[in-house]
Structures are given as C-alpha cells and as structure tokens.
Chains A and B, each alone.
Chain A
C-alpha cells in the first residue's frame, strides 16, 4: 500500500492530476476551490510543467483548448459560477474532439449563490452545458481518495475518447480533510496523439477546428460524435451498490450525499430495515444497469437524495420508465441529514409516499 497522507479534497484532486501527468494547468480564483489552484501554482513549476493564472475563466478553458490541441494533458478547475463561463470552451472542445479535464467544486446557485456545497450543476454537466449537441464524461467522487483517483482517471478517459471529462464534486468534498492513499504504481501514460499540433515537419499540416461548412459535413461529424458517446455509455458507466441486492427501498445518491446515505443504510440495516444504496460514480454515462438490476430484484421504490431539486431524479425516472416509484429528497444548497433521509426512506418502506421538494 502506498503512503497515507491527510489531504483536503481540493489538494487530493490536484495531486491526482499531477500523478496523471497533467502537463498544463490554467485557472482563475474562485471559492471553494482555491486550494486546488494554489497547490498547482506551487507544484507545477517545481515539476517543470505549465501553470498560468488566467485573466478569466474564458481564457482558462481556452488555454486548456490550446494546450490540448498541442497534444498535452491540460486541465482547469473552478466552481459553479466559473464553470458556467467555461461552457463556451467545453462546446468547442467537444466539437474539435479535444481531451480536457475540468474539476467543478460545486457551490450554491443560481447566480452568485453562496460558497457552500450544492449539486445544482448536475444538469449543466450531464446535458452538455454549452451550445450544440454533445456530451462530457462526468465523474462524481465521494471522498478525498476519490478526488485523487477520479481526477487521475479523468485524464485517461479524456484521452481515450478525445472529449472532456468533468469531475463533479462540491464544497464539502473540496474542503474536508481525509486520509488519502497515494498510488504506488505509475499511472498509465497518455496515448500517442498524431492529430496534435506540433509543427508539420515530415507530414501534412494538422488542423484542429469545429467549423464544418461542407454540404452534410456537420451532420456527419455529429453522428460520429454520438457513435463515440454510445461506446462511452456502453463501457464507462461506473457505480457502487451497497446492500442493494435485497433492498426494498433503494437510495440513489452521488458525492457527499452518498456519504450521508451510507450511514442511513448502516442504521437501517441495524434495525433490519431492507434499505440499500446505489451510488453513481459516473452520472454521464448514467449507471442505468445498476438501477435495472435493483428494479428486477426486490426494489419497490427508489429515493433520490440530492442537493438540488430533482436534477438526478430525472435520470432515475428516465431509466425506470415508470416501472417503480421514484421519490425525491432534494435540499438545494444544504446537505440532508441522516435522520431526515432515514425518516423519508422508512415512510416509503411503509408504503407511504415519502420525499420532498417535488
């Protein structure tokens, strides 16, 4: 086992990027992710890699575009209002099929909101977010350990599929300190990038672009993107199932809400209540298979616990297509307590309609 160190989630994610061989980081200050940028400001130059504090979020994501177009592993991190500004760049990154990693340490919204935790950017992350018809891979850590592991994994996924991978965390996960085990094995090296801009000596010039004016060219390109997305949906959905096999009511929660729900399941099982948890580790692609397995078993109802007003519940309903009851416990910009989740789940178990916020 590797060294165990106490780290804040933001720092763990930054270290994950460094271990994954991130060549260039571009960021703009925003709370609650500043520890990330500060960590990179110190470490990247020490390692002879690139760090720029950009003039804006727009500049930062477009610097990611440039560095990635040049064939290097590049990333940015921010929090909700800043990530809104990055949507333009994410659309161009999708259109130009560039790998990119974006860490979003979500805070409350809409607007300036607050600097506390929230999961209000779920739709923005999973539906595309910028203009045009595209997807980004969305990874949802629930601990400092996963902040490191999933940020590192995001680079591999981004390179493999030549698309953006977003790490969707929140203010709790960014700020709280936990022990993190550092990997002992070197992480996978990036694949060759013959498409990258590096100077055209010995080959025809490469072009990175998203403007496709030829007759039918754009539609063909969009079909190609969606063929790729279909493969990502088939191969890259990740989740954790906890006591879900015989659960009559299944909690569905990601990120910090899943941490609360773990405790809820533990307490329920102590009381012999058949409660389980499905924790999506990717929310795009959404782990439809996990829900289907539970629905084919004992599950009678699903309770979605999220720090938003039913954004993920929509995906659960779309997956189950009305075959099972789906209730929502939504607390925008506030973490639900173990007690309120347990009460809500118990009511569902007893056949009463639970949930709130719908």
Chain B
C-alpha cells in the first residue's frame, strides 16, 4: 500500500503551543518535509528565534539552539563557519529578523554566509501580545498602534526581500504565501530550494512566508488566509527577488 500523506520524520510527534490557525505549524512541516526529502536530518543545525517559535526545538527533531532575540543570523552564520559540513538554518519572526536583529540579518546576507533563513512574516508581535512589528501594515491596529499604523508617526512597513535584494551577497531570495494549497506547494518548493542553495551552491538563501496570525489580526483563521491573499500580498508582493539559477518556469 502506498502512503500518500504521513508525518515527516523530522517533525516531532507532539502537540505544539501555537494558536489555532497560526502559520508556524505549516512552516515547521514544510521545513521537516524538505529535511527528510534531502536526507539531511543527521547533519542539520537550526537556530530558533525569541518570539512565537522559541520552542521550535521541541518540534523539529534536529540539533537546535535558542539564541538571544535578534542574534539568530549571527549565531547561525558562526555555526556554519565552524561546521561547514552541516546544513544550518535560522527560523525567525519579523521582530527578531527585521527589528532587533536587522543588523545581524543585513550583514549575514551581505557576507553571503551560506545559511538558510526562514522568515515568518505575520506583521505583528505574537508572543508578547500583538504589538507593532517592523512589517505591520499601514492602518493595521496593534496594541501599540491602537488607532492603526501611521506612516508619519510610526514609519512604513519594511519589505525585507526588496531590501536584501539591494545587496550582492544573497544567492536566493523569495517571498511566498501560506494562504492556500497552491501557494503552500510553491512555498514547499522555495524551502527545498533554499536548502539546496546552501548545500549545492554554498550561498545565502532567505524565504519570507506571509503567514497568518488570526489571534492578533482579530480574524477567524479563514478570514486571515483571505487577508493574506487580498491585503497583505499587495503590501508584500510574492515573488523571486534573487536567484542563482537562470529564470525558472
């Protein structure tokens, strides 16, 4: 009998602490699937962020560490330098990657450190209770933008892929969404390619996921998925921003 759907080996057999409708579970699964498919679980090292995914080491069955808030890319870059035979990834939220860790993100990308960065952008700080993130969209209400994000007062959202695409260092940059089966299949291809970029191309790769946070968007899970399609994707257009391979498709 052929198994069509099973739990990836690398995904721990446990309940997660994530809220209903959260995107982290999908990203965890995509990473675990790619690790299994590439057969690299025995030589992979992950760095989980301070933020909602701080307990990712309980769910992904590979060697992992838990760096200080924002320092994830610096830690991952150093691990890769001393263990070039390992596959090293960081898993980061928008606060960790684009606010407190903006310098570490920028410089790891600029050095072209051959690490794989998974960036979960849900436009809000989930762990601390729904505050403004560097990727919070204009007019979006959070606990620290109670009347909505205002460009003149709070600044505009940061588009990370576009920002990193100004640098020569990165080998692969792609933004994907998690809003439906088709986009998740595309995201799965991006995750796999981001690992391949490190393994076969010795290059820096970042995949940005537009990911739902129904709890702090104050929406139902279904509404949150729809919002990614109809609202968030307009501010953060999906696409490939850097590719070492000549144009695909």
Instruction: Name B79's contact: one of A70, A200, A206, A207 (CB within 8 Å).
Output: A70
Complex interface: stretch among B56-64, B154-162, B186-194, B224-232: B56-64
Given A56-B103, A197-B45, A66:B67 Cβ within 8 A: yes
Closest to A51 in B: B81
CA distance A63 to B103 in the complex (A): 13
CA distance A97 to B25 in the complex (A): 30
CB-CB < 8 A to A24: which residues of B? 78, 81-82
| Residue B208 lies at the interface, judged by CB distance under 8 Å to chain A | no
Most buried by B among A62, A88, A92: A62
Closest to B60 in A: A205
Closest to B73 in A: A59
| Residue B86 lies at the interface, judged by CB distance under 8 Å to chain A | yes
Most buried by B among A59, A74, A201, A207: A59
Near A by CB (< 8 A), chain B positions 94-109 give: 103-104, 106-107
How many residues in B have their beta carbons less than 8 Å from beta carbons of A? Answer: 35
CB-CB < 8 A to A209: which residues of B? 57, 65-66
| Residue A67 lies at the interface, judged by CB distance under 8 Å to chain B | yes
| Residue B13 lies at the interface, judged by CB distance under 8 Å to chain A | no
Instruction: Name B75's contact: one of A23, A65, A207 (CB within 8 Å).
Output: A65
Query: Is the pair B78, A207 in contact by a Cβ cutoff of 8 Å?
Result: no
Query: Is the pair B68, A207 in contact by a Cβ cutoff of 8 Å?
Result: no
Could you tell me the distance in whole angstroms from the C-beta of B87 to the nearest C-beta in chain A?
Answer: 8
Query: Is the pair A198, B86 in contact by a Cβ cutoff of 8 Å?
Result: yes
Interface 1/0 per residue, A53-75 and B, CB below 8 Å: 01110110011111101101010
CA distance A207 to B56 in the complex (A): 11
CB-CB < 8 A to A67: which residues of B? 78-79, 81-82
Query: Is the pair B61, A197 in contact by a Cβ cutoff of 8 Å?
Result: no
Given A52-B78, A198-B86, A207:B65 Cβ within 8 A: yes
CA distance A208 to B78 in the complex (A): 15
CA distance A63 to B67 in the complex (A): 10
Complex interface: stretch among B36-44, B143-151, B197-205, B236-244: B36-44
